[in-house]
Amino acid sequence: MKAIILLSGGLDSATTLAIARYQQYECYALSVDYGQRHESELTAAQAVAYSLGVCQHQVIKIDLAAFGGSALTDPSVAVPIKGEKAAIPVTYVPARNTVMLSLALAWAETLGSHDIFIGVNAIDYSGYPDCRPEYIEAFERMANLATKAAIEGNKVVVHAPLINLSKQEIIQKGMSLGVNYSLTVSCYQADEAGLACGVCDACRIRRAGFDKAGIPDPTGYKRD
Amino acid sequence: MKAIILLSGGLDSATTLAIARYQQYECYALSVDYGQRHESELTAAQAVAYSLGVCQHQVIKIDLAAFGGSALTDPSVAVPIKGEKAAIPVTYVPARNTVMLSLALAWAETLGSHDIFIGVNAIDYSGYPDCRPEYIEAFERMANLATKAAIEGNKVVVHAPLINLSKQEIIQKGMSLGVNYSLTVSCYQADEAGLACGVCDACRIRRAGFDKAGIPDPTGYKRD
């Protein structure tokens, strides 16, 4: 059975891909180039896709930056280094998961697949509304009214296998499935070679995850 | 109040924009260039947006054709000229309305708008699953779990003012609101100048609508 896996190049989506592969799906990886600053993510996505043996890796370009509104796509908004946790992070990209899941749904329908995997996580990123279980369920329900497959009785399932895992548990799961985390990039301001800053929110959460899992952090950090 | 209006350049979305304007919204028109064959649609969208005085018209390019699967985006699938009505038309683009509404949601969130207008119509296009009221309701419900605005208590509303109107009623409504239908293109295989073939499903439905409304058809047709 075919499955679409949303693959960002980060730690979570690499783990999600490994889980889908472990569940015997033929994996079709989809990366969305939404005009993000950190293009090294896409390079990482390619390396991850290759290392985990996907059937196909498709990159769809879409200029969400034209809409502005996030530190990840709008150069006029600064990436927060540390400091207080805001209710909703400024690194939130408007409707990002909705846009990405919609594209996954389009490809799934074309391939005759009814399974979509997304590496959202409600615990470490609780500030993002579109990482919550009730959101994923609502998307799935909508998808089942939207598509030809649904009309024909093939229910679309949106799998979010990390949704209730801590970063530590995600890393332990991925290690047991052979994920090479040195290929992944989580940093919001990684350089072109994919080296991480070590100080942004994403870096701190990732480093703490390896610490708690008792696994040496394989992340490449910039020297300064 | 600001609203996002999905504008394809066709008759239905032009009417929808006129309705939103009549309801006193500040209109932000969004066209999605999803790799469709008929680029004259986008030229028409610009002309319609200008003629109805939008605040801004944004075109987002996204290559749905990379996924294939439809006569509208895949050159290997023929556009049907006439003949039997299939259960689901081959001109169906996978997850198209879901992708377009998701992009509208992203822009709405950035603009601080909570109103999205889409010109779907359940009567003339009943073969498309994503034109049904239950689909629109499910999208709206999902959107209200997806966004920052929803978290802050600003409910997103997806307006589908044409959903239960016949083509005749849509045309009568639009004429009463000053829509210039000669600017719109409905044909699946219009030429570069926007001239219509007159024989595809979209042309036949459109022509019949003007006939029933008792209004001279302003469409420019190719000579052959």
How crowded is residue B176: how many other Cβ atoms within 10 Å of its Cβ? 10
Calpha distance B24→B5 (Å, rounded): 13
Residue B192 has pLDDT above 90, yes or no: no
Sorted by where each begins, the domain ranges of chain A are 2-180
Q: What's the pLDDT tens digit per position in B2-40? A: 999 999 989 999 999 999 999 999 999 999 887 765 678
* A67, A102, A141 member nearest B98 (Cβ): A102
Q: Which CATH superfamily is domain B2-179 in?
A: HUPs (3.40.50.620)
Residue A154 has pLDDT above 90, yes or no: no
Average pLDDT (A136-141) is 97
Asked if A148 and B134 come within 8 Å (Cβ–Cβ), the reply is: no
How crowded is residue A156: how many other Cβ atoms within 10 Å of its Cβ? 23
* A98, A101, A146 member nearest B135 (Cβ): A146
Q: What's the pLDDT tens digit per position in B30-76? A: 998 877 656 788 889 999 999 999 999 998 888 776 776 555 555 55
Terminal-residue alpha carbon distance, chain B? 47
Residue A188 has pLDDT above 90, yes or no: no
Residue A84 has pLDDT above 90, yes or no: no
On chain A, the residues whose CB falls within 8 A of the CB of B141 are 138, 141-142
Q: What's the pLDDT tens digit per position in B194-223? A: 899 999 888 999 999 999 999 999 999 988
Calpha distance A163→A161 (Å, rounded): 6
Average pLDDT (A159-177) is 96
On chain A, the residues whose CB falls within 8 A of the CB of B145 are 129-130, 132, 134-135, 138
Q: Which residue of B has its CA nearest to A104?
A: B95
Residue A97 has pLDDT above 80, yes or no: yes
Question: Which one of B111, B141, B145, B158 would you mutate to disrupt binding with A, by most A Cβ within 10 Å of its Cβ?
Answer: B145
ipTM over 0.90: no
Report the pLDDT value the prediction gives residue A81, as an integer from 0 to 100.
Answer: 53
Report the pLDDT value the prediction gives residue B157, as an integer from 0 to 100.
Answer: 97
Angle in degrees, CA A33, A38, A41, rounded to 5: 65
Class of domain A2-180: alpha beta
Report the pLDDT value the prediction gives residue A166, as an integer from 0 to 100.
Answer: 92
Asked if B98 and A105 come within 8 Å (Cβ–Cβ), the reply is: yes
Q: What's the pLDDT tens digit per position in B75-95? A: 555 555 554 444 555 556 788
Q: Are A147 and A111 in contact (CB under 8 A)?
A: no
Q: In sequence order, what DSSP letters do the residues of B84-140 get, joined into one string?
A: ---SS-TTPPTTHHHHHHHHHHHHHHHHT--EEE----TTTTTT-GGGSHHHHHHHH
Calpha distance A191→B29 (Å, rounded): 36
pTM assigned to the model: 0.89
